[in-house]
Homo-oligomer: A and B are copies of this chain.
Amino acid sequence: MAKHPQASICTLEGLDDFKDVAIFQDYHGLPEFRNAVANFMAKVRGNRVKFDPDRIVMSGGATGAHETVAFCLADPGDAFLVPIPYYPGFDRDLRWRTGVQLLPVHSDSSNNFKITMNAMEEAYAKAAAENIRVKGILITNPSNPLGTILDRATLVDLVAFVNSKHIHLVCDEIYAATVFTQPDFVSVAEVIDEVECNRDLIHIVYSLSKDLGLPGFRVGIVYSYNDAVMRCARKMSSFGLVSTQTQRLVAGLLSDDEFVGRYIFESAERLATRHERFTSGLEQVGIGCLESNSGLFLWMDLHKMLKEQSFESEMELWRVVVNEVKLNVSPGQSFHCAEPGWFRVCFANMDDEVVEIALRRIRTFVAKADLAAKKRRCWQNKLNKLSFKSRIFDDVAMSPRSPMPHSPMLRAQN
């Protein structure tokens, strides 16, 4: 900002354009904004692929982008297949006002939660048996909550799958710039350049909330290779356009190539360092995480700490972690995870000091839990009574389904 005062319409240097920008109403968006976003999307994907600025459609964050795509592709009652575990906000963003359904596609820890075409075929067949019309597959790549990326082979399989069924593939790539170690991120945009496919079936949801850390600016993008979807989405964008003031600022911000290059590099460096610190800290106390190289979170395995392998026990443990250990993590069941004991831990949104506090609390907790496990073997009853007391307290304060601030919507206090 200090270096480019003209990028803002609120500085003396940019003020001359205030009026033009403030009254700009075209829902195509400012050309410089669309150009800058298209370039940034390419840069984040290693410039191995180009994006057409005329296909950049604005929406109110990824939240609005997902709803827009659902409105465009599906009628009420239609369904999308979504590999679990998935971002819980989808249940509201995609379903609430559109009436579409989300059908889970199984995955579990046996193959590190990888998407398999077997599971996809199963989910598709199950929907068909129930007379549910499947309109597409929704994937997040990199995955929220896993922090993993899809390999090229899986993407090729997914593209082939949607082609064979003539359904759509919606790729949420809002964490594309958070890939912090090898292997490199592979976008569906690259894959469809390499394999034969019907591009009309491919749609990307993007946003600057995660990759640039600007969630307040509400920059959501629908990038569809399908002209009809693009035109429809653009008309719908009237319900959630990006403020022209923000379009202008983002255009300026992203047009500084040197800054953007440095930002992407520096952000990945910092995420890698933080990720390493957190996973090794957990490892020291015997806690494992799914191997990952992207995202702002870890997929932490606490299944050995469950009293029994059930979601009730997971919820019990989650309450202890939140209320007693005082760490804000999300239980796997809120992501529709198929097996209990997994928790999502955000490691990026705090400073180094808080990381150390968090790790210290975990160490203390694990030590206590080890002690308690020993005691439990002696006095099972005593522990039952304690957890009963804690449940009464927690039921007032917490709802089991929306425990975490996943999205602004889920954080409603009223």
Contacts and interface: CB of A to CB of B under 8 A. Distances in A.
Interface of A: 1-2, 5, 7-12, 14-15, 18, 21-28, 60-61, 63-64, 67, 71, 92-93, 96-98, 213-218, 231, 234-236, 238-246, 249, 405, 407-409, 411-414
A63 B237 CA distance: 10
Given A235-B409, A238-B408, A240-B60, A215 B245 contact: no
A67 B12 contact: no
Q: Which of A64, A93, A218, A413 has the most CB of B within 10 A?
A: A218
A27 B412 contact: yes
Given A22-B216, A27-B409, A236 B97 contact: yes
Contacts of A61: 238, 241
26 contacts: A1-B9, A1-B15, A5-B11, A10-B249, A21-B216, A24-B216, A25-B408, A26-B411, A27-B409, A27-B411, A60-B60, A60-B241, A64-B238, A64-B239, A71-B97, A92-B235, A97-B239, A217-B243, A217-B244, A217-B245, A234-B414, A235-B409, A238-B409, A241-B408, A245-B245, A245-B249
Given A243-B243, A249-B10, A412-B231, A22 B214 contact: yes
A218 B234 contact: no
A33 to B, nearest CB: 11
A407 B411 CA distance: 32
A92 B239 CA distance: 11
A268 to B, nearest CB: 19
Contacts of A2: 12, 15
B213 A241 contact: no
A391 to B, nearest CB: 27
A239 B7 CA distance: 27
A245 B8 CA distance: 11
A217 B246 CA distance: 8
A238 B407 contact: yes
A412 B234 contact: yes
Contact of A213 (B23, B27, B234): B23
A11 to B, nearest CB: 5
A215 B64 contact: no
A258 to B, nearest CB: 19
Q: Which of A21, A216, A408 has the most CB of B within 10 A?
A: A216
Contact of A246 (B15, B25, B98, B246): B246
Contacts of A244: 216-218
A246 B21 CA distance: 12
B215 A25 contact: yes
A252 B167 CA distance: 48
A233 to B, nearest CB: 11
Nearest to A68: B239
Nearest to A244: B216
A250 to B, nearest CB: 9
A243 B240 contact: no
B1 A10 contact: yes
A71 B96 CA distance: 10
A360 to B, nearest CB: 26
Contact of A235 (B10, B243, B412): B412
A97 B71 CA distance: 8
Contacts of A26: 408, 411
Contacts of A9: 1
Contacts of A242: 218, 243
B243 A218 contact: yes
Contacts of A24: 215-216
Contacts of A98: 97
A402 to B, nearest CB: 11
A22 B241 contact: no
| 7 A-B pairs with the lowest CB-CB distances in the bound complex, closest first | A216-B244, A8-B10, A240-B240, A243-B243, A27-B408, A238-B409, A60-B240
